[in-house]
Amino acid sequence: MIVEPKREILLGPLLRVGLRRSWAARDHFLRLALIPLAVMLAILVPLQHAMFEVMAGSRADSIPEDGGPMPQIALLAVVYAAALNVFAVNWLRQLTLGMSAAPGLGLSLSGRHLRFFLLIMASSIGSGVLAVILMLLLSAFGLAGIMAALLASLLIWAALIVRISPTWIGIALDAPMPLGTAWRRTAGQGFKLLIALLAVEVPLMFVQQVIGGAFELTGLLTAAPLTFTLITAVIQLIGTAVQLAIMVTAFPHFLRETV
């Protein structure tokens, strides 16, 4: 008889196993992260310049009729996300199926990469729309309202991602799970998964802030901006790798069992 899984996730062991799996696959991380890192680095430089242009335009209170650099920012952001998603799929396959499932530098792309990317992008766009709505509703509270709207939409996006995690992990592993099934099977476990992701994200954000402050104080931010950009991209890839290892460790809890 097929039954729905009822095993509870234990946060401590989940974090320890996720970290262990990441460390054990560190050589494969270097192999699979090489090309995505190069793409991300190539994109971050023009993306930062475009963002500075937007900030300068907002201070001048002038918005170009053609949208200025906004179309460029949107395109670069999509390509950046695509590079990160390629790494995510290859990393998930390496952790679960071994090197034969993600050979070489991870350039064996297929439909699974596209389906994974489209699902994550759809979730991100939905959260972006929600962020705009919340900002409009809270704009009367000034900057505090805008920041609260952004934080709320980010948390909602993260909660959505963990609740549908069996679906996107399943896509990467060629074992797709319908969204409705994934939502039911993660019921009651989403908060623990969210805390697990934050347990990785928050320390890395702190480390990045410390490094950024050190670069700014020493003048390296101006003298060696590309180095700081490289460090930023590496930190994001490391965080993504550890978070994915945690999520794929939890994945068996959401599979059906035969009893």
The pLDDT tens digits for 90-112 are 999 999 999 999 999 999 999 99
Q: Quote the number of domains for the chain.
A: 1
In a domain, 191, yes or no: yes
With 50 as the cut, is the pLDDT of residue 149 above it?
yes
Q: Is residue 206 part of a domain?
A: yes
Q: Categorize the per-residue pLDDT at 66 as very low, low, confident or very high, splitting at 50, 70 and 90.
A: low
Its pTM stands at 0.88
Place of tokens 């949208």: 67
As a whole number of angstroms, the distance between CA 139 and CA 132 comes to 10
Mean confidence (pLDDT) of the chain:
87
pLDDT in tens, 15-29: 999 999 999 999 999
pLDDT band at 55 (very low <50, low <70, confident <90, very high): low
| Residue 48 to residue 45: CA distance in whole angstroms | 5
The answer to whether the beta carbons of residues 212 and 199 sit under 8 Å apart is no
Q: Is residue 3 part of a domain?
A: no
Report residue 152's pLDDT band, with 50, 70 and 90 as the boundaries: confident
Domain assignment of residue 19, yes or no: yes
Q: Is residue 1 part of a domain?
A: no
Q: pLDDT tens digits, residue range 214-236?
A: 998 988 888 888 898 899 999 99
Which tokens belong to 1?
Answer: 């008889």
Q: What is the DSSP string of 194-205?
A: HHHHHHHHHHHH
What is the mean predicted confidence (pLDDT) over 243-249?
A: 96
Q: Which domain holds residue 215?
A: 8-258
Residue 203's contacts (CB-CB under 8 Å, 6 or more residues apart) are: none
| Distance (Å, whole) CA 217 – CA 180 | 50
Residue 2 lies in a domain: no
